Amino acid sequence: MEKLLHTPEGVRDIYNHECESKLQIESKLHEVMNRYGYQDIQTPTFEYFEVFSEERGTVSSKDMYKFFDRAGNTLVLRPDITPSIARCFAKYYKNEECPIRLCYGGSTFINNSEYQGKMKEVFQLGAELINDASVEADAELIALTIECMQEVGLKEFLVEIGHTGFYRALVEDACLDEEETEQLRLLIMNKNRFGVEALLTEKEMDQSLKEAFMTLPELFGNVSRLEEIKKITNTPKAVETIERLEEMYHLLEVYGYEKYVTFDLGTLSQYNYYTGMIFHAYTYGTGNPIVTGGRYDSLVKQFGKDAPAVGMAILTNQLQIAMSRQKTDIMMKKSRELILYKKAYFSKAVNFAQMKRYQGIDCMMCCMENTEDRAALQAYATRVGATCIRIFDQGDTMDTITEWETV
Amino acid sequence: MEKLLHTPEGVRDIYNHECESKLQIESKLHEVMNRYGYQDIQTPTFEYFEVFSEERGTVSSKDMYKFFDRAGNTLVLRPDITPSIARCFAKYYKNEECPIRLCYGGSTFINNSEYQGKMKEVFQLGAELINDASVEADAELIALTIECMQEVGLKEFLVEIGHTGFYRALVEDACLDEEETEQLRLLIMNKNRFGVEALLTEKEMDQSLKEAFMTLPELFGNVSRLEEIKKITNTPKAVETIERLEEMYHLLEVYGYEKYVTFDLGTLSQYNYYTGMIFHAYTYGTGNPIVTGGRYDSLVKQFGKDAPAVGMAILTNQLQIAMSRQKTDIMMKKSRELILYKKAYFSKAVNFAQMKRYQGIDCMMCCMENTEDRAALQAYATRVGATCIRIFDQGDTMDTITEWETV
């Protein structure tokens, strides 16, 4: 019986208030994406393994749910949606040269055993702007993120922006191999300055470059720090990335959203497909990001079409956790009536309920031969979220309806 | 590259108009379910195999997508959602004695190789009314189905109603074993009268019972046939099921929905968990049902709580196929503007777009240094569904915006 009642580890049921609230949040976020011109797309829950294999730079193969089709091909539950959108773009927009905006909602699946308590099925709502290499496109994704946060009623949140190109330029200059690059990336992501120092001590490279790597975990702050950050490196490509971030910041000033923005050049992503600006949105109430995003100019090319792109995904569960802890509830209280009737009054009750439904009021009908116990009925109404009870059990005119508000 | 661009057999991408229309249809259907007081619930995409194993009576084990978790448990992509809802009810509503209404939307997965062209990932929207054994509950699910069809604009459709109890009562009377019952079920479902005859010839049973089985594939028609059907059997349990259908029909007359209803006692379901009334809704444009449903009074008990239940699920893809062939399009044409600007006019363009978005108009921004080729811009606008183009490329007052309608 144990297994019959339980969901597998890392997945769960969502019901009652939480589910209703989740759907309302998703609907509001989706509206914002539409408002920015993003058009809906849905991709399958599982795909060929190749779509997410190592070259794509999403998650490691061992962390994917894999199975086989009848022909013996390896299928995986999608661990990420961006590569699927990249595949679609290469397939359905092969000859498109102008910017295309796509948005989607769906579950992703990561079979991760390392972190206890981490969910394995994670819903996300995402937006991708493809065929657009401009810094204006980068700024749009940040603006869209900020507006999504505002739409659900969040007041205090920050978008922390980095640039993968900065780190890559330093790595290139330092001639680090792949393994060292990855080791260093993890140390920097964990803001482990001493680890970085230890790793670099044995390496031969310019002292100024070593200094740059060592300060990386500390290169965060508001826009005024960008000027300073430019000075710690002579690598032209690294300097260019900072200049692009500065330009993007000025575009965000036009939107009026600069106050939500902060920079962190030590921010690196678990996704290797990012090539430019990357960002995470945070708010209080959860330590995890509520939005992640960035520029990925080489991913679509892997599917056969050379197209720069930038995108973001909102992790709605993290957002909902934060909103709940912040007591920010966007739920609109709906009128919902509980209509109780004795069998003989079925017609009258149905006609009444249909009229109410026509007016846009939710009505639950319930045949009850015994409607005497008011306290029990009241408790039931509360359990099913009814805001009003009506009883059809006597007389034959509408006037004899017993009704009372439950709240 | 082949695999990189393609989706696995039986699953697909949905985009552009089809996707937008799908979401609007789902939203309308969901509204109707809410209006009837159904509350949202979401269950995981995969569950322990046991939730769907043979006793549950959903699909055969070989038709499920199976894989393992790290502890070696067998997981399956849910082939059906009703058993998951039954599990949730037994778990979260253990002590609930009053009717509970739940609704959901999600994909189901059947690894079926037998039917070419049949989709393996199928989205459905469903509603379940649990803890209610009444014929009024049966009628509500039919009324809900009819209202869902009306809501999306369907005019001609039929709900074909049967009763699994009728066939079961005959089978019980005839003392058929499980294998014979299943063979016979398939023959009747395929309306194969001669097959039924051949199977029964060798069996020893009352001639009247044989006649009853043989006429089963022909026992369909409007309510007037129910009277006639009662006469072909002396089995009291079989007669009772017909009487219940008659009662339900009269309840549907109260709703004013009787004209959409037809009966077919030869209708049997692939799902063995149905115990009472079952139904399918059909319309022209697709030979497949667009809605399936029925009463399942023993399923929730298997999860530890004895609760009668009745439910339905709308197969939105079949519905959409039919609607498209019937040229019934519920899409509301949205205003969507394409805002083209030269880099120097970014601020003006953003301010304009933000104002429009604030007014609820979808705006796509696009930086274009060359906006001379009107035909190309017009074609692009059409591709991204823009209803209006505005160009910010000269002057410095609002009056100089070039604009024209694309449709």
B45–A304 CB contact, under 8 Å? no
Sheet of A74-77: strand order equals A46-48, A74-77, A66-68
Of the candidates B287, B307, B290, the residue with the CA atom closest to the CA atom of residue B298: B307
Q: How far apart are CA A243 and CA A228, in angstroms?
A: 12
Residue where the block lists tokens 């049902």: B289
A40–B34 CB contact, under 8 Å? no
How many CA atoms lie within 13 Å of B407's alpha carbon, on the beta-carbon side? 15
Q: How far apart are CA A391 and CA A365, in angstroms?
A: 10
B-chain CB neighbours of A51 within 8 Å are: 3-4
Q: Are B234 and B251 in contact (CB under 8 A)?
A: no
| B131 φ/ψ sector (left φ>0, alpha ψ -120 to 50, else beta) | left
B380–A102 CB contact, under 8 Å? no
Residue A206 confidence (pLDDT) above 90: no
Q: Are A371 and A342 in contact (CB under 8 A)?
A: yes
Tell me, which fold does domain B2-325 have in CATH? Answer: BirA Bifunctional Protein; domain 2 (3.30.930)
Closest-CA residue of A relative to B64 is A69
- For B336-406, CATH number? 3.40.50
Helices (H) and strands (E) in chain B, counts: 13, 17
ipTM: 0.93
Q: How far is A129 from chain B (nearest CA, A)?
A: 11
A45–B351 CB contact, under 8 Å? no
Positive/negative CA dihedral, B186, B192, B195, B199: positive
Q: Convert the pLDDT of each residue in A52-95 to its tens digit.
A: 988 887 788 889 999 998 888 999 999 999 999 999 999 999 99
**Length of chain A measured in residues:** 407
Q: Which of A129-143, B246-260, B306-320, B369-383 has the lowest mean pLDDT?
A: B369-383
Closest-CA residue of A relative to B114 is A70
Q: How far is B254 from chain A (nearest CA, A)?
A: 6
> Which residues, in sequence order, are CB contacts of B175 under 8 Å at separation 6+?
B205
Selecting from B4, B254, B357 the residue whose C-beta is nearest the C-beta of A50 gives B4
A14–B51 CB contact, under 8 Å? no
Q: Binning pLDDT at 50, 70 and 90, where does residue A115 land? A: low
A15–B251 CB contact, under 8 Å? no
Q: How far is B240 from chain A (nearest CA, A)?
A: 19
If you average pLDDT over residues B39-67, what whole number do you get? 91
Q: Are A241 and A165 in contact (CB under 8 A)?
A: yes
Q: How far apart are CA A220 and CA A222, in angstroms?
A: 7
How many CA atoms lie within 13 Å of A32's alpha carbon, on the beta-carbon side? 23
> Which residues, in sequence order, are CB contacts of A390 under 8 Å at separation 6+?
A337, A338, A339, A340, A352, A401, A402, A403
Residue where the block lists tokens 């060359």: B370
Closest-CA residue of B relative to A108 is B45
Q: How far is A237 from chain B (nearest CA, A)?
A: 23
Q: Convert the pLDDT of each residue in A207-254 to its tens digit.
A: 888 888 888 888 899 999 999 898 888 889 999 999 999 999 999 999
Cβ contacts below 8 Å, chain A against chain B, sum to: 250
Radius of gyration of chain A (CA): 27
Selecting from B87, B100, B365 the residue whose C-beta is nearest the C-beta of A4 gives B87
If you average pLDDT over residues B266-286, what whole number do you get? 89
> Which residues, in sequence order, are CB contacts of B44 under 8 Å at separation 6+?
A7, A8, A11, A12, A13, A121, B78, B84
pLDDT at residue B371, rounded to an integer: 64
A5–B90 CB contact, under 8 Å? yes
- Buried residues in B78-91 as b, exposed as e (16+ CB within 10 A): bbbbbbbbbbbbbb
B50–A15 CB contact, under 8 Å? no
If you average pLDDT over residues B378-385, what whole number do you get? 90
A42–B77 CB contact, under 8 Å? no
pTM recorded for the entire structure = 0.93
Residue where the block lists tokens 């496109």: A137
Residue A353 confidence (pLDDT) above 80: yes
Domain boundary assignment for chain B: 2-325, 336-406
Strand A336-341 vs strand A362-367: parallel, antiparallel, or unpaired?
Answer: parallel
**Length of chain B measured in residues:** 407
